[in-house]
Amino acid sequence: MSVTDRTNIHREFDGERLPPGQRETSKFPVLSKGSTPEWDPESWEFSVTGAVENELTFSWEAFRDLPSETQKQDFHCVTGWSKFDCEFTGVTFPTLAERAGLRDDVVHVMFSALDGYTTNLPLEDCMRDDVLFVREYDGDSLPREHGGPLRVVTPHKYAYKGSKWVNGVEFLTEPERGYWEKRGYSNTANPWNEERYS
Ligand SMILES: Nc1nc2c(c(=O)[nH]1)N[C@H]1C(S)=C(S)[C@@H](COP(=O)(O)O)O[C@H]1N2
Ligand SMILES: [Mo]
């Protein structure tokens, strides 16, 4: 199986591999606003809505059939830890966007999740091949506390921009703010600029 190494994206942001104010950990801490939600593979549904040509819904089986790839990425949490060399397998954001067909007036994206979490990003921050809908971590199903069955990773942003337990993507014609973005975390979240709080 081929693994694409995306641990060099810090160069795009003129930064070191370890962003300022971060320390490297070999552990993978769990950070959730509440408890880990239950999910049922039979009834799980993922929806793509908003300013698209085709609104889509996927069953777990159908989502698993989408073309996926494996990447090595670094993970930066706003609370100060970074984990290097995470192996994530999943579907790229552009792959999904292409299936839905974006209208010309899309500028922003809102992700939603089984635990009621939401997070937002400008479209251009999503249309990168390193923004993944992840279902495997280090070759195994994504652990439930880390967002299984499906989560988003955003290696160019602090990790709160990556929704665990994601089950919806909405394409927006105007910016909106998600759960932490309304509660004082930075809307832009660039780790190499230490955009932690707003
Ligand atoms: N659905 C959901 N996604 C979420 C969160 C959450 O509480 N709910 N927490 C966010 C935060 S603040 C961080 S730092 C990362 C943590 O991911 P981890 O628990 O796998 O380390 O998930 C992000 N995604
Ligand atoms: Mo976080």
What tokens were used for 33? 């606003």
Query: Atom 9 (ligand 1): residue with closest C-alpha?
Result: 32
Query: Atom 17 (ligand 1): residue with closest C-alpha?
Result: 31
Task: Give the number of whichever ligand sits closest to the CA of residue 180.
Answer: 1
Task: Give the number of whichever ligand sits closest to the CA of residue 33.
Answer: 1
pLDDT in tens, 11-45: 999 999 999 999 999 999 999 999 999 999 999 99
The per-residue b/e assignment along 176-190, b for 16 or more CB within 10 angstroms, e otherwise, is: ebbbbbeeebbbebb
* Homologous superfamily of 3-11+44-193: Oxidoreductase, molybdopterin-binding domain (3.90.420.10)
Centroid of ligand 2 to alpha carbon of 35 (angstroms): 15
Sorting pLDDT into bands at 50, 70 and 90, what band is 1?
Answer: confident
Ligand 1 cavity residues, CB under 6 Å? 29-33, 77, 113, 115, 117, 146-147, 159-160, 162-165
- The pLDDT assigned to 82 comes to 98
What tokens were used for 142? 């994504």
pLDDT in tens, 128-140: 999 999 999 999 9
Sorting pLDDT into bands at 50, 70 and 90, what band is 3?
Answer: very high
- The pLDDT assigned to 51 comes to 98
pLDDT in tens, 93-104: 999 999 999 999
Is the pLDDT score of 108 beyond 90? yes
Sorting pLDDT into bands at 50, 70 and 90, what band is 116?
Answer: very high
Task: Give the number of whichever ligand sits closest to the CA of residue 159.
Answer: 1
Centroid of ligand 1 to alpha carbon of 83 (angstroms): 14
Centroid of ligand 2 to alpha carbon of 30 (angstroms): 9
Centroid of ligand 2 to alpha carbon of 120 (angstroms): 14
CA quadruple 25, 23, 197, 106: dihedral sign: negative
Nearest one of 190, 50, 75, 53 to 142, comparing CA atoms = 75
In the chain, domain spans: 3-11+44-193
Is the pLDDT score of 5 beyond 80? yes
CA quadruple 37, 39, 180, 137: dihedral sign: positive
Sorting pLDDT into bands at 50, 70 and 90, what band is 56?
Answer: very high
22, 30, 31, 135: which to mutate for ligand 1, most atoms within 8 A of CB?
31
